[in-house]
Amino acid sequence: MIIPVKWSDEGVLMLDQRLLPTEEKWLTLKTYTEVADGIRDMVVRGAPAIGVSTAYGIALGMRQFVGTNMVDFEDELDYICEVLFKTRPTAVNLGWAIDEMKKTFAKAKSESKSISEIKEILLERAKEIHDEDIEAQRLIADFGGELIEDNSTVLTHCNAGALATGGVWGTALGVIRGAVNQGKNIHVFADETRPYLQGARLTAWELHEDNIPVTLITDNMSGYMMKKGRVQAVVVGSDRIAANGDVANKIGTYMVAVLAKEHGIPFYVAAPLSTVDLNCPTGDQIPIEERDSREVTHIKDIQLAPEGIGIGNPAFDVTPNHLVTAIITEKGVARAPYTESLKKQFEE
Ligand code: MRU
């Protein structure tokens, strides 16, 4: 059972995903700035895992507040949230976790709790956010597993597994685990996912650990596999889903969705409601992170491209809602028109 982020009295424990699959090393992050660096540097990554880590980072930072003045305490909370907010812009789970922690503080303050009580309450809420995330993935696995037919091959892009969430299931890999648990015979194609290779390094590792048959392919092989009838469904996760069902996910997802449409293959998105941003009307408003060009020009220390050329490295793209067959959340399966179906899930 993979749980990539944990709380301990020494700090936030993170499985260092930069080293997988060759090394399994845990880091203890002892301050909120170390947690922020861990998120920025991809020690932990994947939208729900970023949300859980953010909540723990806030709880950790506030626990270390020294003082007795509530105004100073609140200023410190705002400052820590701002530092964490700036780490990665696309995954809305980060902002969602900050809002949850701020709401928790506001409620405790309105109930005249003391600073030491509020420190405990914030930590309890962070642990709850973690538990709720695992529970959401379990439900996504159940609902999503039903959509996958027996004896099928499912293609996935990036890593939307236990590593990318609070743990155990994952979103896209949760759907696959759900189908396997329902007794279905499932094979997975994992896109390697250049430039950061989350598919090769993380998805292939996770599935192999769970004895789920996985075949690694490079990103430019998916069209061939689809044309040959070797893919029956695509399942991916998301970093932010706009109110109209446009889906931001790892760069290359859009290309896979277009190919799936061309070949009549269902394209499913699995994500908890903490990834759905009803304040974002369409995918056009989703901020897309641009990452270091070195991720494209190098693999570890090996240089792949000449120096002095232009490099593009957008980390995410947006798949328009008309290419999305269904969105699976912990509330069930939403279908077009998403503006209505997603909103309804929040109201349930
Ligand atoms: O840059 P990353 O590795 O954080 O990107 C991760 C993804 O794009 C995932 O597909 C997404 O966060 C969903 S994770 C359940």
pLDDT tens, position by position, for the chain (348 residues)?
999 999 999 999 999 999 999 999 999 999 999 999 999 999 999 999 999 999 999 999 999 999 999 999 999 999 999 999 999 999 999 999 999 999 999 999 999 999 999 999 999 999 999 999 999 999 999 999 999 999 999 999 999 999 999 999 999 999 999 999 999 999 999 999 999 999 999 999 999 999 999 999 999 999 999 999 999 999 999 999 999 999 999 999 999 999 999 999 999 999 999 999 999 999 999 999 999 999 999 999 999 999 999 999 999 999 999 999 999 999 999 999 999 999 999 998
- State what percent of residues in the chain have pLDDT above 70: 100
Residue where a domain stops, chosen among 138, 160, 189: 138
209 and 73 belong to one structural domain: no
Distances (CA, A) of 115 to 41, 62, 63, 127: 32, 9, 9, 19
What CATH code is carried by the domain that includes residue 21?
Answer: 1.20.120.420
- Residues near 50 by beta carbon (within 8 Å), at least 6 away in sequence: 39, 44, 87, 88, 91, 93, 94
The per-residue pLDDT for range 61-109, each reduced to its tens digit, is 999 999 999 999 999 999 999 999 999 999 999 999 999 999 999 999 9
152 strand-pairing partners:
186
Residue where a domain stops, chosen among 107, 138, 169: 138
What CATH code is carried by the domain that includes residue 177?
Answer: 3.40.50.10470
Q: Which of 156, 159, 247 to mutate to test the pocket of ligand 1 (most atoms within 8 A of CB)?
A: 159
Q: Are 48 and 274 in contact (CB under 8 A)?
A: yes
- Residues near 208 by beta carbon (within 8 Å), at least 6 away in sequence: 214
206 and 107 belong to one structural domain: no
| 222 CA → ligand 1 middle, Å | 19
Domain that holds residue 223: 141-347
Query: Can you spell out the DSSP letters for 62-125?
Result: HHT---S-HHHHHHHHHHHHHHHHTS-SS-HHHHHHHHHHHHHHHHHHHTT--HHHHHHHHHHH
Which pLDDT score, from 0 to 100, does residue 121 have?
Answer: 98
Does the annotation mark 239 as catalytic? yes
Q: Are 144 and 174 in contact (CB under 8 A)?
A: yes
| 255 CA → ligand 1 middle, Å | 16
Q: Is the CB of 329 inside a 6 Å radius of any atom of ligand 1?
A: no
Q: Which of 14, 45, 329 to mutate to test the pocket of ligand 1 (most atoms within 8 A of CB)?
A: 45
* Neighbouring C-beta atoms of residue 262, cutoff 10 Å: 11
270 strand-pairing partners:
328
Which ligand 1 atom is at minimum distance from the Cα of 171? 15
Q: Is the CB of 269 inside a 6 Å radius of any atom of ligand 1?
A: no
322 and 239 belong to one structural domain: yes
| 290 CA → ligand 1 middle, Å | 14
Catalytic residue among 239, 246, 277, 317: 239
Say which residue the tokens 């930072």 belong to.
61
Which ligand 1 atom is at minimum distance from the Cα of 170? 15
